[in-house]
């Protein structure tokens, strides 16, 4: 019985993660401005904050990053590396700080988005791949992306909180 | 409220270490090309892209129903006297209108297929780069359809990019806008050759042109065919801005001929351009 329940939870997570990556790709195609957002990153941070399980957060970040790399044409592992680290750091932050406060979430989302962009770019440049310099290397692009991602993340976090409170 | 997480547990650090080693290994294998890791991408794309295609088609269907039915509900209420058959006919008309537009687009694509480029295939764009670091799109044609890495991709308006990864049924196309993209081009009237590079933004950048003194805004660039990817003579874009000289060359921005923000169907050129020389629109009346 317990095994079925574990499979069910893992299955739900897998479906949720695939959905996030697929929707990121489709929404970016339908709305050009959506490419500034990063749903998988928001998802990694949220699970890191709320699950209280660093190993699961590492796994989630890793899987999301690898799926992003596969569908984006980037060198496999660049986003995986970055999202793994972000998932872990989010889990650590969740244990050290009060991540239910909007101000903490704002700082975390903003810094994690900037860090993700920086790390993926550095890794891309190190292997001289096609996954370098987002938005022509413009730092302004990163800032815009971080700001938009923070706003979206803040809204989604609030929605998820209400939804999970209602269902528990 | 902070959660109590014991990050000092050895298992946490082992999990992090293992994940990091796997990703670092993947990156280094690809960088050194010692071990072929493309099977991982092929497997992932073949697993994820069908879901992406399904969601895309579902959204397309829902949008169609919304635009052709629900959006007309208000109108229907205002016109209560109209018979149900009229509504149905209107819906059919709308659908036919969509079909006509689609067939017009496909006809254009077909005309290109028959224009001497060689063997081509029409593909549907089903997704865009989910990692925001690249300018790529996913198309629903892969190795089993003859699409392989370095296949050129275009629309009737101009070139779109080249295939960088192919799985059995899907491919990832690097757009010309990508910062790592480069295309060999030729000035349409003077026939001077250069390279157009992606900037990662919405415009391209012209570089390494023989002589940039007489360039002016609105000048058209076509592919030169020298990059061995794009057949000669395909529209690339027009000069949108000429800035001050930077080093040896002027800063010249080129606006892509194809509308890369609204890609729906694209053409993949399957033949290698060695055997291909497209009809050059300026060949008959070159301007000296």
Give the ipTM of the model, two decimals please: 0.84
Judged by CB atoms closer than 8 Å, whether chains meet at A74 and B134 is answered as yes
CA distances from B227 to B207, B231, B244 (A): 14, 9, 27
Judged by CB atoms closer than 8 Å, whether chains meet at A52 and B27 is answered as no
In the block, residue with structure tokens 């053409």? B267
Tell whether B239 and B149 lie within a shared domain. yes
B74-113, pLDDT tens digit by residue? 666 666 666 667 666 766 777 777 777 777 777 777 666 6
Judged by CB atoms closer than 8 Å, whether chains meet at B133 and A131 is answered as yes
Q: Which residues from A are below 8 Å from B264, CB to CB?
A: none
Question: Please, what are the domains in chain A?
Answer: 2-167 (1.10.1760)
* B-chain residue closest to A145, CA distance: B132
User: Is B222 a member of any domain?
Assistant: yes
Q: Which residues from A are below 8 Å from B49, CB to CB?
A: 71
Handedness of CA A29, A32, A34, A35 (dihedral sign): positive
User: Is B169 a member of any domain?
Assistant: yes
User: Is B104 a member of any domain?
Assistant: yes
Number of domains in chain B: 2
A37-90, pLDDT tens digit by residue? 889 999 999 888 888 788 999 999 999 999 988 888 788 889 999 999 999 999
Helix (H) or strand (E) holding B194, with range, is: strand B193-198
Tell whether B149 and B188 lie within a shared domain. yes
Mean pLDDT, range B150-171, rounded to an integer? 91
Q: For residue A80, what pLDDT is reported?
A: 92
User: Is B37 a member of any domain?
Assistant: no
Tell whether B137 and B253 lie within a shared domain. yes
Per-residue burial over A115-136, b if 16 or more Cβ lie within 10 Å, else e, is bbbebbbebbeebebbbbbbbb
Tell whether B225 and B263 lie within a shared domain. yes
Tell whether B220 and B194 lie within a shared domain. yes
Tell whether B108 and B143 lie within a shared domain. no
Tell whether B78 and B212 lie within a shared domain. no
* A-chain residue closest to B201, CA distance: A135
Distance from CA of A46 to the nearest CA of B (A): 13
Q: Which residues from B are below 8 Å from A50, CB to CB?
A: 3
Last residue of one domain, picked from the residues B79, B113, B147: B113
Judged by CB atoms closer than 8 Å, whether chains meet at A136 and B201 is answered as yes
A4-46, pLDDT tens digit by residue? 677 777 888 888 899 999 888 888 888 878 888 889 999 999 8
Tell whether B78 and B196 lie within a shared domain. no
User: Is B31 a member of any domain?
Assistant: no
Contact call for residues A52 and A67 (beta carbons, < 8 A)? no
CA distances from A28 to A131, B45, B62, B125, B261 (A): 17, 17, 18, 12, 10
Q: Which residues from B are below 8 Å from A76, CB to CB?
A: 26-27, 30, 37, 40-41
End-to-end CA distance of chain B, in Å? 75
Tell whether B82 and B202 lie within a shared domain. no
Judged by CB atoms closer than 8 Å, whether chains meet at A80 and B23 is answered as yes
Tell whether B88 and B223 lie within a shared domain. no
Q: For residue A82, what pLDDT is reported?
A: 93
pTM: 0.71
User: Is B128 a member of any domain?
Assistant: yes
User: Using CB atoms, which residue from B51, B125, B178 is nearest to A29?
Assistant: B125
Using a 10 angstrom Cβ sphere, with 0-12 exposed, 13-18 middle and 19 or more buried, the burial of residue A106 is middle
User: Is B129 a member of any domain?
Assistant: yes
Enclosing domain of residue B78? 45-113
Tell whether B152 and B88 lie within a shared domain. no
User: For chain B, how many residues are written?
Assistant: 288
Give SS3 for A168: coil
CA distances from B24 to A69, A81, A123, B173 (A): 13, 7, 10, 25
Q: For residue B115, what pLDDT is reported?
A: 61
* B-chain residue closest to A63, CA distance: B19
Contacts of B254 (CB under 8 A, 6+ apart): B196, B203, B204, B205, B206, B221, B236, B237, B238, B239, B240
Q: For residue A81, what pLDDT is reported?
A: 94
Tell whether B211 and B73 lie within a shared domain. no
């Amino acid at each position: 019985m317990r095994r079925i329940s574990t499979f069910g939870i893992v299955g739900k997570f897998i479906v949720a993660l695939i959905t996030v990556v697929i929707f990121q790709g489709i929404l970016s195609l339908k709305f050009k401005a959506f490419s500034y957002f990063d749903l998988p990153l928001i998802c990694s941070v949220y699970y890191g904050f709320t699950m209280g399980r660093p190993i699961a957060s590492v796994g989630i970040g890793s899987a999301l990053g690898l799926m992003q790399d596969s569908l984006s044409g980037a060198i496999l592992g660049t986003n995986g590396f970055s999202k793994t680290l972000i998932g872990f750091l989010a889990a650590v932050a969740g244990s050290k700080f009060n991540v239910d406060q909007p101000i903490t979430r704002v700082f975390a989302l903003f810094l994690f988005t900037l860090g993700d962009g920086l790390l993926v770019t550095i890794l891309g440049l190190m292997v001289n791949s096609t996954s370098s310099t987002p938005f022509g290397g413009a730092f302004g692009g990163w800032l815009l992306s971080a700001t938009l991602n923070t706003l979206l993340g803040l809204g989604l976090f609030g929605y998820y909180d209400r939804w999970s409170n209602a269902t528990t | 409220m902070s959660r109590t997480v014991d990050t000092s547990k050895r298992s946490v650090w082992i999990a992090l270490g293992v994940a990091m080693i796997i990703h670092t290994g993947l990156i280094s294998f690809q960088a050194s090309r010692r071990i072929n890791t493309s099977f991982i991408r092929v497997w992932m794309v073949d697993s994820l892209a069908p879901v992406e295609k399904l969601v895309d088609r579902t959204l397309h269907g829902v949008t169609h129903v919304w635009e052709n039915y629900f959006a007309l509900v208000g109108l229907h209420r205002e016109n209560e006297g109209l018979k149900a058959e009229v509504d149905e006919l209107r819906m059919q008309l709308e659908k036919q209108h969509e079909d006509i537009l689609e067939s017009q687009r496909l006809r254009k694509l077909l005309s290109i297929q028959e224009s001497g480029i060689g063997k081509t295939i029409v593909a549907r764009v089903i997704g865009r780069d989910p990692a925001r670091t690249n300018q790529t799109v996913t198309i629903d044609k892969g190795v089993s359809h003859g699409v392989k890495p370095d296949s050129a991709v275009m629309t009737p308006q101009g070139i779109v990019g080249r295939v960088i990864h192919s799985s059995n049924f899907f491919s990832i196309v690097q757009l010309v806008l990508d910062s790592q993209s480069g295309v060999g081009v030729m000035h349409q009237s003077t026939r001077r050759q250069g390279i157009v590079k992606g900037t990662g933004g919405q415009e391209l950048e012209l570089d390494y042109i023989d002589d940039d003194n007489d360039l002016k805004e609105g000048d058209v660039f076509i592919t030169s065919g020298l990059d061995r990817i794009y057949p000669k003579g395909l529209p690339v874009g027009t000069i949108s801005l000429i800035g001050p000289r930077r080093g040896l060359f002027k800063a010249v921005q080129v606006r892509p001929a194809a509308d890369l923000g609204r890609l729906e169907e694209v053409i993949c050129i399957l033949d290698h351009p060695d055997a291909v020389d497209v009809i050059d629109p300026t060949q008959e009346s070159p301007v000296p």
